Structure 1
Amino acid sequence: MIDKNSPIPIYHQLEESIKQLIESNQLKPGDSLPSEREYSEKYGISRMTVRQAIINLVNERYLYRIKGKGTFVTEQKFEQNLQGLTSFTEDMKARGMKASSKLVSFEIIPADIKLANQLNVPEHGPVYEIKRIRLAEDIPMALERTYISANLVQGLTTEIVQDSLYKYIEGTLHMNIGSGTQVIEASIANKEELKLLEIPELSPVMIMQRTSRLEDNRIFEIVKSSYRADRYKFMIDLKRG
């Protein structure tokens, strides 16, 4: 609804109206919007006013335009809070979404010097290497490479790694997960990431490497995840002092 007597600019009212339709899922990702002319005739406002509202929503990434085809609703990014140590499965469950994994590979490898130092295990010691595609509502979100000491976390199977590692570690092995350290950097997707995440060439990805520890401070995993930058964003609260 547009109120022409309101002190709020008309273009801003239209922006908020469209935002509300998107956030309430009345306009879904991929849906096309009415043309500028249709908005102009519907609300009795100028096309320039409509254009300003649309441009602002494109800049805010609520919408995107395809030349000659129209304006469409953007896929909204998933937001992950970096202040808690949660698994992908737990994170998606908290959103009421179906999480799943597609196992790419699962094997025991000998730790090289770098991995041995990262996991604090002997060089050439047995380490699980697990590659999984993490999906939300069957959409590929991240390629996850996990390395775990096979002497510390024993009994992993294909069935377990296709479900939730954290649930197995805490629920079955009764090991309490305590803390983690994460480093995030931006990159361009490599060939493996392009293929497995189903993204076009030169797509940006966010690389997150996490070192996770048990309550007794033993390192139990190193995880390197490549997140689709078009579908994911990270959030953290900051406090001064």
Structure 2
Amino acid sequence: MIDKQSTVPMYVQIEEHLKLRILQGEFSVGIAIPSERELTEMFGVSRMTVRQSITNMVNTGLLYREKGRGTFVASSKVEQPLSGLTSFTEDMLSRGMIPSNILVGFDKIIPELDVANKLQLSEGEKVFLVKRIRYADDKPMAIEKTYLPVKLVPTLDKDALNGSLYAFIEKDEQMTISHAMQRMEAALVNEEDAEFLQIDVPSAIMIIERISYLTNDVPFEIVHSSYRADRYQFLSEIQR
């Protein structure tokens, strides 16, 4: 199946072979492909060559890895338009997916100076620090660390975090969300986040910092999100 005399690199040939088997339905969405050891024996190549093929397919979103379980055929990536201010819960519901989350941390703290400045807080004012693993159809998509001024959302509790935080702010706290500023960058996942996201180290992630504002231009949250690059992509419409 591999032409070792070809000018086409062997890892590319392996990729094309696996892509064909996926297109033909032999490997359907959610099905594990053969292990690296099995592919090494099948193609008569080194494990490093096989690993490069799989890594390339993971990076392009055709496959995804689950730590300790194997490598699986991915469904289409979730597309997030870079316009409109919506919560993760709202995003997933709009796509017909079932959102859920695991609350990893919920504390009331005095924030670091950088966070306090961005939230326009005075010295000593506290924030809620919320850390959640966000899921879509029971698959981990992102880790979110959110800072919210206690004075703006004094009734926030763990029950409110089971659903949409934005819905809680607008309906329960009677505030109107207006706009946000976002900063994005690519990174490699650290070991702690890799455990939460069920991916290997190193794997690519997309990091986003969002500062969101109410209609009176008061910032009400800072969110640091780490998205799985193999399951999420961002879409932007640009006009000249």
Report matched runs for 1:40-119 at 5 Å. Answer: 61=60, 63=62, 73-119=73-119
C-alpha deviation, 1:59, in angstroms = 11
Computing the radius of gyration from Cα coordinates, the structure with the larger value is 1
SS at match of 1:105: strand
> How many residues are paired up?
191
Residues 61 and 231 in structure 2, CA contact (< 8 A), matched pair in contact too: no
SS at match of 1:212: strand
CA distance in 2, matches of 1:139, 1:59: 16
- Aligned structure 1 segments of 4 or more residues deviating by more than 2 angstroms: 26-32, 58-64, 72-76
Q: Tell me which residue corresponds to 2:31.
A: 30
- 1:28 to 1:127, Cα distance in 2 relative to 1, 3 A: same
**Corresponding letter in the other structure for 1:212:** S
CA distance in 1, matches of 2:108, 2:73: 44
RMSD: 2.6
Q: Tell me which residue corresponds to 1:40.
A: none
- 1:208 to 1:63, Cα distance in 2 relative to 1, 3 A: closer
C-alpha deviation, 1:122, in angstroms = 1.0
**Corresponding letter in the other structure for 2:208:** M
Residues 126 and 149 in structure 1, CA contact (< 8 A), matched pair in contact too: yes
**Corresponding letter in the other structure for 1:204:** A
CA distance in 2, matches of 1:170, 1:230: 32
CA distance in 2, matches of 1:162, 1:62: 29
What TM-score do you get using the length of structure 2 for normalisation?
0.72
Q: Tell me which residue corresponds to 2:170.
A: 170
Q: Tell me which residue corresponds to 1:69.
A: none
CA distance in 1, matches of 2:61, 2:227: 20
**Corresponding letter in the other structure for 2:94:** A
**Corresponding letter in the other structure for 2:99:** A
* Identical amino acids, percent of aligned pairs: 42
Residues 30 and 75 in structure 1, CA contact (< 8 A), matched pair in contact too: no
Q: Which has the higher contact order (CA 8 A, sep 6+)?
A: 2
